[in-house]
Amino acid sequence: MQNFIIEELPQNVKDFLDLPQSAYKNLVYFNDVQSAYCCRANLLIKDDGVIHYSYEALRVKRNKNSFYLRSTEKYGFTFDKKLNVWFKKSINDVPGLAKVMTILKMDWYDSRLSNILTKGGFEKMLKGTITNPIDFCKNYLKSCRLTDVSPKLFYNLLVKNRYQRYSFMSAMEVAKDRNLYLMNLLKDDENKESYIVSRDYQRNSILEDLVKQAQILDRKVDFEWSLKRLKSEHDTWTKEIMDMEGENIDDTPLDHIKKLDLLPEMTLLDSQKKVWSEGKLMKHCVYTNYWSQIKSGNYIAYHIETEDEKATLGVYVHDDVIEFNQIYGPFNNTVSHDLKIKIENWINNINKKLKV
């Protein structure tokens, strides 16, 4: 039998608890110990292969006559051919797993893989049937029914911190070739500091919109489509979705939208019908992809019309600031440099006012 102390009580807490009851101990408690959190964790490996791991978060509490440790959170697991995670917790909730894995000689495990650590995957690690990161990724993809996805590409995505579960699963649902989607993300990462980022920004923005639209229309997205083809599909799908919505849409203004000082060329799109009409007029996806965020108060859209051009502006809304998201003309075409500068200055001025 082997017993490993993963975490133990800090020495100052041990010393405090050993102090005799006195006014001085009360003083130390209120000055140094009362607000302190501590923990203890223990890993037990039995000769028959059974593993117990326990983790307990603690605080020192005081009653009328004494001081004692009070447990605030408990975690743990037992492995005895099968894995049992205690207290109906997720394996990802259990603190200290990295130290446990080191003791169990799972040195191949990278903390960046924790986003996809599952109970079933960890059980196979404990059984010794998963012994490397590629098999770890392969097991996860199989559990998600993504057996046609390259585990090596997926692993590269994880270690480059490019994995976001919601966007990944959405793309997997509609991708014509799922591995091309992964290669597209990894290419973006390689070009992170390059001029190619600005060149590809419009392409990536359209792809993000197409994924949402493909889910609605039950279509597939080819991540090798040219920018011209992407724009064509985007415009066609936007029109289809908007036609489904129909003209019978609520025109009641949303009361919760921030009322900001606008430039003469700007019109606030503050109702469902105005946002829908903007998308139909400008031939883009402001309604199909952003109405839910506008309705929840996280996004504001504006129509802009000057003597020379028309555009739609979208900004994200935070507590005390607005953040530029996008500005496009009809058919998602780019707008003039002068209009971009004008909008940037407007946003900066609005944020200065909001922070006052």
Residue 162: predicted pLDDT: 83
Residue 211: predicted pLDDT: 92
| Listed range (182-191, 210-219, 263-272) with the worst mean pLDDT | 182-191
Residue 194: predicted pLDDT: 41
What whole-number percentage of the chain has pLDDT above 90? 68
**Mean of the pLDDT values across residues 101-107?**
94
Whether 337 has a pLDDT exceeding 70, the answer reads yes
Residue 189: predicted pLDDT: 52
Whose tokens are 């000082």? That residue is: 261
pLDDT in tens, 4-37: 999 999 999 999 999 999 999 999 999 988 888 8
Residue 140: predicted pLDDT: 96
Rounded-to-integer distance, Cα 228 and Cα 2, Å: 64
pLDDT in tens, 316-325: 998 889 999 9
Whether 47 has a pLDDT exceeding 70, the answer reads yes
Whether 192 has a pLDDT exceeding 80, the answer reads no
| Listed range (127-131, 248-252, 326-330, 337-341) with the worst mean pLDDT | 248-252
Residue 195: predicted pLDDT: 39
pLDDT in tens, 50-60: 999 999 999 99
Confidence of residue 161 (pLDDT cuts 50, 70, 90): confident
Calculate the average pLDDT of the chain. 90
**Mean of the pLDDT values across residues 156-177?**
91
Whose tokens are 């050993």? That residue is: 18
**Mean of the pLDDT values across residues 203-225?**
90
Q: CA distances (Å), 94 to each of 90, 153, 220, in order? A: 7, 28, 39
Confidence of residue 168 (pLDDT cuts 50, 70, 90): very high
Q: Which among 314, 353, 320, 319 has a CA at the least distance from the CA of 335? A: 314
Q: Are 271 and 226 in contact (CB under 8 A)?
A: no
Rounded-to-integer distance, Cα 161 and Cα 194, Å: 18
Which is it for strands 67-80 and 82-85: parallel, antiparallel or unpaired?
antiparallel
Rounded-to-integer distance, Cα 24 and Cα 43, Å: 36
Residues 6+ positions from 154 with CB-CB distance below 8 Å: 137, 140, 141, 163, 182
Whether 151 has a pLDDT exceeding 80, the answer reads yes
Q: Are 315 and 323 in contact (CB under 8 A)?
A: yes
**Mean of the pLDDT values across residues 138-156?**
95
**Mean of the pLDDT values across residues 285-304?**
93
Rounded-to-integer distance, Cα 211 and Cα 285, Å: 12
Q: Are 341 and 297 in contact (CB under 8 A)?
A: no
Which is it for strands 37-45 and 67-80: parallel, antiparallel or unpaired?
unpaired
Rounded-to-integer distance, Cα 306 and Cα 264, Å: 9
pLDDT in tens, 295-312: 999 999 999 999 889 999
Q: Are 304 and 266 in contact (CB under 8 A)?
A: yes
Q: Are 158 and 115 in contact (CB under 8 A)?
A: yes
Residue 196: predicted pLDDT: 41
Rounded-to-integer distance, Cα 89 and Cα 80, Å: 18
Residue 193: predicted pLDDT: 46
H or E element: which one contains 229?
Answer: helix 227-245
Q: What are the start-end ranges of the E strands in the chain?
A: 2-7, 37-45, 51-62, 67-80, 82-85, 266-268, 299-305, 310-317, 322-328
Whether 187 has a pLDDT exceeding 90, the answer reads no
Report pTM.
Answer: 0.67
